[in-house]
């Protein structure tokens, strides 16, 4: 039986002149508007990201970070952009110790790192765009000023955030309607965010890191008890980096390098390549067991080795070698779960938005932007319409750990865009699955569906998923409601600690977007049913 009949999902979307896939229809429309004006995939990606800041502030914002992978059709080259911010220069483990802090609460002002999104957007446009920042921000400004009807899934998570971060964070009420979240279909306006975007449109990203916006950020962080300074903001830069990659059954899978966790997905795919997954039914216990075990091994390494490479040596080449994967693969028992996985030695001696864009020329942008943990800290610089992220919560407070908190350091970052190319270097397509530590797990499951089973993007996204809780090598495994009963039973018998997850909590399993391009130029797109969005082609 065809998989579409089994899942009961929507069809994949086809087009030729360009395509945008996001978690909000209005953001998809913003990206298409920019493509129609002659913009590149980079221009459309930033336009869609800005529109998502307006329509899905429960997940993303200019007070957070971004990463991107860009495929340039003319050179067949993939580049990686790190738009993540660093910790305050005044924040250290010694400072926490002196204050008697042995852990950081998730919404504490010390978790606020420099917001990197604005600088990243501008850097992407400068290298790969054709339009101005003012051009690409225009749709988002319109949405923020005129208002938009809130989508259903977004409304649910907005209500959770309103009762949690926004109720406690300074000025969090600015992202509510008299203290409550907007309901599905209700119009929400954000004049403060429109003001922010108009300032950027007029003066560029520099206006975010110096001047009134920066001063408002520092003032509210200090009022909340944090230590972010104007110098921290002024010193921020987005960085172009060399992407990392591996091959999986002839397809090259690209990720951003550490401090992002894309390495985790590549480690797991390298391990899985040694098993004959295409011969196993997609919902067989043996396949899911092997994927879970490979990801446990990958997370065990990632939790140690992923850090800011300017503060720690990360043996990426050794970790991604096929020889290292072969050694790790031998640790998998095909019949039993291992929930006490240790990291290997490779040496020889909540809440993000992901979007994908491909333009008519075959350029592709894989783009991700996040506050972390929904609204981040819930702290709002008064009058500017965005919350400040809590990305610093991912630092380790263990002295000597590569990812240990230190001044002016980037933390382990969960948000990861992905890209696929063929053996000849041609574009296959951008892909991503958002959602904390689910992201590399989603990458592995989606790539396996596309490569091992040859399904289309929508079918790959529709499939039920598993999630190892919090990316912990010894974590319980969430199984999405809808998995066959015999699969659940067989995994339990292998020793996996399981929880069945359904309803609104399916957000645990992430929300993805995929656009694939054929050698002839036909685009095929899919958008995750766990979100409000869609993939749409340009007419």
What would the pLDDT profile of 237-253 be if each residue is shown by its tens digit?
Answer: 999 999 999 999 999 99
The mean pLDDT value of the chain amounts to: 94
Mean pLDDT of 94-113: 95
302, exposed or middle or buried, with CB in 10 Å at 0-12, 13-18, 19+?
A: buried
R_g of the chain computed on alpha carbons: 22
CA separation for the pair 384, 33 (Å, rounded): 25
For the stretch 281-301, pLDDT in tens is: 999 999 999 999 999 999 999
Task: Please give the angle made by the CA atoms of 356, 357 and 358, to the nearest 5 degrees.
Answer: 135
Check residue 412 and report its DSSP letter.
P
pTM of the complete model: 0.95
**Residue 46, Cβ neighbours under 10 Å: how many?**
35
Q: Going by C-beta distance under 8 Å and a sequence separation of 6 or more, which residues neighbour residue 47?
A: 30, 31, 33, 34, 39, 136, 137, 138, 139, 140
Amino acid 506: pLDDT: 87
Which residues lie across from 499 on neighbouring strands?
Answer: 478
Q: Which band of pLDDT confidence, cut at 50, 70 and 90, is reported for residue 10?
A: confident
Main-chain dihedrals φ then ψ at residue 92, nearest 5 degrees: -150, 165
Amino acid 351: pLDDT: 62
For the stretch 139-186, pLDDT in tens is: 999 999 999 999 999 999 999 999 999 999 999 999 999 999 999 999
Beta strands in 267-395 (DSSP E): 352-359, 364-370
Amino acid 353: pLDDT: 85
For the stretch 269-281, pLDDT in tens is: 999 999 999 999 9
For the stretch 395-443, pLDDT in tens is: 999 999 999 999 999 999 999 999 999 999 999 999 999 888 999 999 9
Q: Which band of pLDDT confidence, cut at 50, 70 and 90, is reported for residue 217?
A: very high
3 state SS for 133-148: HHHHHHHHHHHHHHCE
434, exposed or middle or buried, with CB in 10 Å at 0-12, 13-18, 19+?
A: buried
What's the CA dihedral at 437, 373, 59, 147 to 10 degrees? 170
Amino acid 470: pLDDT: 80
- Residues with catalytic function: 352
Q: Which band of pLDDT confidence, cut at 50, 70 and 90, is reported for residue 474?
A: confident
Q: Tokens for 407?
A: 């001044």
53, exposed or middle or buried, with CB in 10 Å at 0-12, 13-18, 19+?
A: buried
In this model, does residue 260 exceed pLDDT 80? yes
In this model, does residue 349 exceed pLDDT 80? no
Q: Position of tokens 């001063």?
A: 215
495, exposed or middle or buried, with CB in 10 Å at 0-12, 13-18, 19+?
A: middle
Amino acid 350: pLDDT: 53
For the stretch 77-89, pLDDT in tens is: 999 999 999 999 9
C-alpha count within 13 angstroms, C-beta hemisphere, residue 228: 32
Q: Phi/psi zone of residue 194: left (φ > 0), alpha (ψ -120 to 50 degrees), beta?
A: alpha
309, exposed or middle or buried, with CB in 10 Å at 0-12, 13-18, 19+?
A: middle
Amino acid 4: pLDDT: 46
Mean pLDDT of 457-476: 89
For the stretch 517-532, pLDDT in tens is: 999 999 999 999 999 9
CA separation for the pair 32, 537 (Å, rounded): 8
Main-chain dihedrals φ then ψ at residue 223, nearest 5 degrees: -60, -35
CA separation for the pair 350, 437 (Å, rounded): 9
CA separation for the pair 388, 377 (Å, rounded): 6
CB 435 within 8 A of CB 362: no
> In 3D, which of 389, 382, 412 has the Cα closest to residue 112?
389
Amino acid 411: pLDDT: 95
Does residue 504 or residue 479 have the better pLDDT? 479
Helices vs strands, H then E, count in the chain: 19, 19
Q: Which band of pLDDT confidence, cut at 50, 70 and 90, is reported for residue 482?
A: confident
CA dihedral sign, ordered 455, 36, 539, 531: positive
- The helix/strand/coil state of 119 is helix
CA separation for the pair 307, 480 (Å, rounded): 30
Using DSSP bridges, classify how beta strands 427-434 and 466-468 pair: parallel, antiparallel or unpaired: unpaired
> In 3D, which of 273, 328, 326 has the Cα closest to residue 301?
328
Amino acid 6: pLDDT: 40
């Amino acid at each position: 039986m065809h998989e579409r009949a089994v899942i009961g999902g929507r069809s994949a979307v086809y087009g030729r002149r360009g395509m945008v896939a996001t978690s909000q229809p209005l953001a998809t429309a913003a990206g298409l508007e920019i493509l129609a004006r002659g913009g590149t995939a980079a221009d459309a990606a930033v336009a869609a990201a800005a529109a998502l800041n307006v329509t899905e502030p429960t997940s993303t914002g200019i007070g957070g970070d971004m990463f991107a992978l860009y495929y340039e059709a003319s050179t067949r080259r993939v580049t990686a952009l790190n738009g993540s911010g660093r910790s305050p220069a005044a924040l250290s483990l010694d400072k926490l110790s002196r204050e008697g802090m042995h852990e950081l609460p998730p919404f504490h002002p010390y978790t606020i790192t420099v917001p990197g999104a604005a600088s990243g957007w501008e850097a992407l446009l400068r290298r790969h765009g054709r339009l101005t920042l003012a051009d690409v921000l225009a749709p988002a400004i319109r949405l923020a000023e005129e208002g938009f009807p809130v989508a259903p899934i977004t409304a649910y998570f907005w209500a959770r955030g309103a009762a949690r971060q926004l109720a406690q964070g300074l000025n969090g009420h600015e992202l509510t309607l008299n203290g409550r979240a907007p309901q599905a279909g209700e119009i929400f306006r954000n004049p403060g965010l429109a003001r922010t975007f108009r300032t950027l449109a007029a003066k560029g990203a520099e206006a975010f890191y110096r001047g009134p916006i920066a001063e408002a950020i520092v003032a509210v962080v200090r009022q909340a008890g944090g230590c972010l300074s104007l110098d921290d903001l002024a010193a921020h830069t987005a960085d172009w980096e060399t992407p990392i990659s591996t091959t999986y059954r002839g397809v090259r899978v690209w990720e951003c390098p550490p401090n992002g966790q894309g390495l985790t997905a590549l480690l797991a795919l390298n391990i899985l390549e040694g098993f004959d997954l295409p011969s196993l039914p997609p919902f067989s216990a043996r396949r899911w067991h092997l994927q879970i075990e490979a990801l446990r091994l990958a997370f065990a390494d990632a939790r140690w080795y992923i850090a800011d490479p300017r503060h720690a040596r990360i043996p990426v080449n050794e970790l991604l070698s096929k020889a290292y994967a072969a050694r790790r693969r031998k640790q998998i028992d095909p019949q039993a779960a291992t929930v006490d996985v240790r990291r290997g030695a490779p040496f020889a001696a909540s809440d993000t938005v992901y979007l994908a864009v491909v333009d008519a020329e075959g350029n592709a942008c894989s783009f991700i932007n996040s506050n972390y943990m929904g609204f981040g800290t819930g702290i709002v610089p008064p009058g500017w319409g965005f919350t400040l992220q809590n990305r610093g919560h991912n630092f380790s407070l263990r002295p000597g750990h590569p990812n240990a908190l230190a001044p002016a350091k980037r933390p382990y970052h969960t948000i990861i865009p992905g890209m696929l190319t063929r053996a000849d270097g041609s574009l296959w397509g951008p892909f991503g699955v958002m959602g904390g530590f689910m992201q590399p797990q989603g990458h592995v499951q989606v790539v396996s569906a596309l490569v091992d089973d040859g399904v289309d993007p929508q079918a790959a996204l529709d499939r039920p998923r598993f999630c190892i809780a919090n990316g912990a090598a010894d974590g319980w495994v969430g199984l999405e409601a809808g998995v066959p009963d015999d699969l659940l039973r067989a995994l339990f018998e292998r020793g996996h600690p399981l929880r069945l997850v359904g309803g609104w909590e399916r957000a645990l399993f992430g929300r993805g977007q995929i656009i694939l391009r054929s050698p002839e130029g036909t685009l095929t797109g899919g958008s995750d049913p766990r979100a409000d969005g869609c993939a749409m082609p340009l007419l």
